A and B are shown apart, each in its own frame.
Chain A
Amino acid sequence: MAREFQRGHKARISDLTAGTDLYVGVQISGPGLTFDISCFGLDADERLSDDRYFIFYNQPKSPEESIQLLGAQAGDTESFRVTLDRIPQQIRKLSFTATLDGAGQMSQIGPGYIRIVAGGEEVARYPFSGPEFSTERAVMLGDFYFKDVWRFAAVGQGFDGGLDALLRNFGGEVAEEEPAAPQQQPQAGAAAPGFAPPAQATAPPAFGAPGGAPTPAPAATPAPAPAPVPPPAPAPAPQPAAQGFAPPPGATPPQVHTAPTIVAPLNTPPGGSPVLPPAPAPAPYGQPGHQPPPYGRTAPPPPGYAQPQAPAPPPGYGQPMPPPGYGHQPPPGQLPGQQAPYGAPQGAPQGAPHGAPQGPGVLGALQQFKETPTGQRWTQQNKKLVRVDLGIGGQPVLARQGSMVLYQGKVDFSYKGAGFSGRIVGNATGQEMQLMRCTGQGQVFFAENSTMLHPIELQGDAVCVSAENVLAFDEGLQYEVRRIEGHGIPGGALFTMQFQGTGTIVVKTHGIPVVLPVTPTTFADCNAVVAWSAASQVVVSSQVRMRRNSYPGDTGESVNLQFRGAPGNFIVVQPYEI
């Protein structure tokens, strides 16, 4: 189950997954915008002291391949593979960043995310969207950082100046001193189709030269520049590659540039989705030196368990380290010599595994369960509790009897009868609601039996809900019993409640429901369906043969409901058959 991060949240990787071979996917997009997504491997001082750990489209992997750029795949704009236990000692932080290429600003981006996938399963996701940013041109999305253990932090911090500001933040002076280094962009369409930046006029060097401003480099040596580069910035090749953010000019870059096969085929789908890499060169994906595993071609195991040379131990536990946190403590019988005994807190205080920051004291511990204040009439407090503010809107609320768990203010609860005809109908159809009327001024909290609650706001439209799934609703709604006819139904017909008008109805379900759009072939078990939009037409389809039904005890799936309707209609089905 993926854990959703908010900006500023932090967690230990070991709390998210036991694996250390992670897939990091970034999805970011905006109309007309192009992004460069890169990963900075920083040292303990948060400096980019070794530019071989600036992983971007021109340098798709670190020397020992602990960080690799995989390209766009599986819905992600860019993706990385990070093998935490192979990251060298001096690299203490990986910062994943996205920078705008060309015009634009970060506020224009659509909803995006950075996510961590381990073992084919998404374990963490930090969603972000344009309104969180303004005129920034770069944004730090998330960090892996090492503090006792590897941790993940959702950062979401923008940088006004774009990539050069980001570079200065990480390594500062370099951008000024050596502005010209890496201009070997394949601008003339030289090579490298797999990762060529969009051939815009000033294909901004994603590194080095600040913002394309042609700082007059020591232009004396326009020496063996690889491509016909615009005049001011040929790579001063003889100059010792001091600390460029590019691969040191001279030896390495051609290799990266002219060998697109190294880069292109790393389109390993996470979890083995059948996207075949375009150019199936033997990608040195796993351990170098071993025979190249056919990773990404033959239904690969999910990234994270793919060490090709780990045969014996069960995967998942097969990481060289034992499951974190487990083997670290001495066995209980042992004398507490080398490590702290059981009770002693180790390391930084860490919250509950679900990530709640926990302060001391009753209030601190309970902070995460605080009431959420809003000014609306109906507020969902958590998945199983809903609050109505009777003072807003002024109309009473009808609720299932006994569903109030708490109220504040002056609220009166009274019996709500169905009336004579209502009782007759209710008795006959089973669509009977034991209701109470809540009037007055104040807030009432409703819940029942830990079922999940779903407030549905009706604005003149109608919804059909089975009576036993109604928890509460505004009194202004009209409701009536509706009959669904069909052959083969025990008792001759099915009944449901139809609510109509303007107001909110709270529907309860056992477990997390599924909401299906109504298509030409939408069926549901009549015992599990909770609600549907009233505009869809219901047809009973009995698909079970009489012969099977005639055996005693075999009920089978006797009555299915088929739903038809225009697009936009939906049905709600719970994982629980009454």
Chain B
Amino acid sequence: MNQPLAGYAPAPVAARMENHGNHMAKIAMQTGNDLLARVGSMVAYEGFVQYEPNPPAVRQIAKDWLTGEGAPLMKCSGDGLLYLADYGANVVVINLNGDGISVNATNLLAFDAHLTWGVERVKGLAKFAGQGLWNTRISGQGWVALTSRGKPIVVDCGGGDDETYVDPDALVAWSPNLKVKGKRSFRAQSLIGRGSGEAYQMAFSGQGIVVVQPSEDSTDRLRVRG
């Protein structure tokens, strides 16, 4: 009966975080090495893992979040294997190893609790109300899992003065040392309701990378569907 499914058994653990397929993250949990994950992203776990939504430490750091309803993160602790997914989005697992990365809110899936992290607002860019624009800057020695609707692409900003413009809805993550600003591409025509559809973009310049997803669907499904 299980014959066709036999190939989907989990592979042996080789690292703290791994991909299981393209759309699921497998995290090896250990006591003392807690994890912060998006509320609602857990799809399965083995072992003894406990979840604490909206922990006080997170509330402290994340008080900048525009949403008045508390941080959409939960602390996972215990021993076992934890599987996370976000409505079929691609999952990208990164071993930071001292680097840093800025992640768009909806594209953050989980990260090690001991990492240095903070919430920042992108200056000069007020995104749509109700969605809340916050992005999380994470750095240190540890692991981060991101989501992307479709296989993402990584673009090098080049380092010169040239700017790279990204549709904010398609933006996933970027190097924290990039300079960010908003760019409005208004033209006279746009004002009378015939815009190009690309009303404004985020402009990045400096040395670093930008990660973009092939979809402009930036709804936060974990939050919308709860």
A contact set with B: CB distance below 8 Å: 12, 14-19, 119, 123, 305, 314-317, 323-326, 328-329, 331-333, 341-350, 352-354, 358, 360-366, 369-371, 381-385, 400-409, 411-417, 434, 436-437, 445, 447-450
B96 interface residue, CB < 8 Å from A?
A: yes
**Mind listing 13 A-B residue pairs with CB under 8 Å?**
A19-B6, A325-B13, A333-B47, A342-B80, A343-B30, A360-B97, A361-B96, A366-B209, A369-B211, A402-B167, A405-B212, A417-B194, A447-B216
Residues of A within 8 A of B12 (CB): 14, 324-325, 328-329, 346-347, 350
B133 interface residue, CB < 8 Å from A?
A: no
Partner of A18, one of B7, B151, B152: B7
Which A-chain residue is minimally distant from B98 (CB atoms)? A361
Residues of A within 8 A of B213 (CB): 405, 447, 450
Q: Which 5 residue pairs are nearest across A and B when measured between Cβ atoms? A: A332-B47, A401-B197, A447-B214, A325-B12, A316-B6
**Given known contacts A353-B20, A371-B156, A414-B196, is B216 in contact with A405 (CB within 8 Å)?**
yes
Flag if A450 contacts B217 (CB, 8 Å).
yes
Flag if A362 contacts B162 (CB, 8 Å).
no
- Cα A349 to Cα B13 in complex, Å, equals 9
Flag if A314 contacts B1 (CB, 8 Å).
yes
Residues of B within 8 A of A119 (CB): 3, 6
B101 interface residue, CB < 8 Å from A?
A: yes
Q: How far is the CB of B19 from chain A (nearest CB, A)?
A: 4
Which B-chain residue is minimally distant from A322 (CB atoms)? B9
B154 interface residue, CB < 8 Å from A?
A: yes
Main secondary structure of the interface of A (DSSP, over half): loop
- Cα A65 to Cα B13 in complex, Å, equals 32
- Cα A72 to Cα B173 in complex, Å, equals 51
Flag if A404 contacts B154 (CB, 8 Å).
no
Which B-chain residue is minimally distant from A19 (CB atoms)? B6
- Cα A334 to Cα B204 in complex, Å, equals 50
Flag if A434 contacts B197 (CB, 8 Å).
yes
- Cα A502 to Cα B44 in complex, Å, equals 52
- Cα A382 to Cα B90 in complex, Å, equals 13
Binds A, one of B21-29, B55-63, B114-122: B21-29
- Cα A354 to Cα B90 in complex, Å, equals 12
Flag if B95 contacts A450 (CB, 8 Å).
no
Residues of B within 8 A of A383 (CB): 151
**Given known contacts A343-B28, A350-B11, is B2 in contact with A362 (CB within 8 Å)?**
no
**Given known contacts A316-B3, A363-B209, is B48 in contact with A333 (CB within 8 Å)?**
yes
B43 interface residue, CB < 8 Å from A?
A: no
Most buried by A among B165, B166, B175: B165
Residues of B within 8 A of A15 (CB): 11
B153 interface residue, CB < 8 Å from A?
A: yes
Flag if A342 contacts B13 (CB, 8 Å).
yes
Tally of A-B residue pairs with Cβ under 8 A? 233
Which A-chain residue is minimally distant from B16 (CB atoms)? A343
Which A-chain residue is minimally distant from B169 (CB atoms)? A405
Flag if B175 contacts A352 (CB, 8 Å).
no
Chain B interface size, as a band, is 35 or more
Q: How far is the CB of A455 from chain B (nearest CB, A)?
A: 14
Partner of B189, one of A16, A350, A400, A414: A414
Most buried by B among A315, A405, A413: A405
**Given known contacts A365-B94, A415-B189, is B167 in contact with A405 (CB within 8 Å)?**
yes
Flag if B95 contacts A346 (CB, 8 Å).
no
- Cα A402 to Cα B3 in complex, Å, equals 44
Flag if A408 contacts B165 (CB, 8 Å).
yes
Flag if B154 contacts A370 (CB, 8 Å).
yes
Residues of B within 8 A of A381 (CB): 153
Q: How far is the CB of A417 from chain B (nearest CB, A)?
A: 7
Which B-chain residue is minimally distant from A369 (CB atoms)? B154
B52 interface residue, CB < 8 Å from A?
A: no
- Cα A19 to Cα B95 in complex, Å, equals 31
Partner of A323, one of B6, B30, B151, B201: B6
Most buried by A among B22, B100, B190, B214: B214
- Cα A404 to Cα B152 in complex, Å, equals 14
**Given known contacts A326-B9, A360-B95, A363-B209, is B217 in contact with A413 (CB within 8 Å)?**
no
B99 interface residue, CB < 8 Å from A?
A: yes
**Given known contacts A325-B9, A434-B197, A447-B150, is B164 in contact with A406 (CB within 8 Å)?**
yes
Which A-chain residue is minimally distant from B139 (CB atoms)? A362
**Given known contacts A362-B175, A362-B209, is B214 in contact with A404 (CB within 8 Å)?**
no
Residues of A within 8 A of B14 (CB): 345-350
- Cα A413 to Cα B214 in complex, Å, equals 19
Q: How far is the CB of A84 from chain B (nearest CB, A)?
A: 15
- Cα A360 to Cα B17 in complex, Å, equals 12
- Cα A411 to Cα B166 in complex, Å, equals 12
Flag if A402 contacts B151 (CB, 8 Å).
no
Residues of A within 8 A of B79 (CB): 332, 341-342
Flag if B3 contacts A315 (CB, 8 Å).
yes
B125 interface residue, CB < 8 Å from A?
A: no
- Cα A346 to Cα B164 in complex, Å, equals 41
- Cα A254 to Cα B201 in complex, Å, equals 78
Flag if A369 contacts B151 (CB, 8 Å).
yes
**Given known contacts A347-B12, A405-B166, A406-B166, is B150 in contact with A384 (CB within 8 Å)?**
yes
- Cα A316 to Cα B81 in complex, Å, equals 23
**Given known contacts A326-B9, A342-B80, A406-B164, is B28 in contact with A362 (CB within 8 Å)?**
no
**Additional A-B contact list (6), CB under 8 Å, known A323-B9, A361-B97, A402-B197:** A119-B3, A325-B13, A326-B10, A385-B150, A401-B196, A407-B165
Partner of B2, one of A317, A400, A415: A317
B36 interface residue, CB < 8 Å from A?
A: no
Residues of A within 8 A of B47 (CB): 331-333, 342
Residues of A within 8 A of B94 (CB): 362, 365-366
B137 interface residue, CB < 8 Å from A?
A: no
Flag if B3 contacts A406 (CB, 8 Å).
no
Partner of B198, one of A404, A409, A445: A404
Which B-chain residue is minimally distant from A413 (CB atoms)? B196
- Cα A436 to Cα B33 in complex, Å, equals 50
Flag if A342 contacts B29 (CB, 8 Å).
yes
Q: How far is the CB of B164 from chain A (nearest CB, A)?
A: 5
- Cα A325 to Cα B170 in complex, Å, equals 36
- Cα A108 to Cα B176 in complex, Å, equals 51
Q: How far is the CB of B144 from chain A (nearest CB, A)?
A: 8
Residues of A within 8 A of B220 (CB): none
Most buried by B among A17, A123, A331, A406: A406
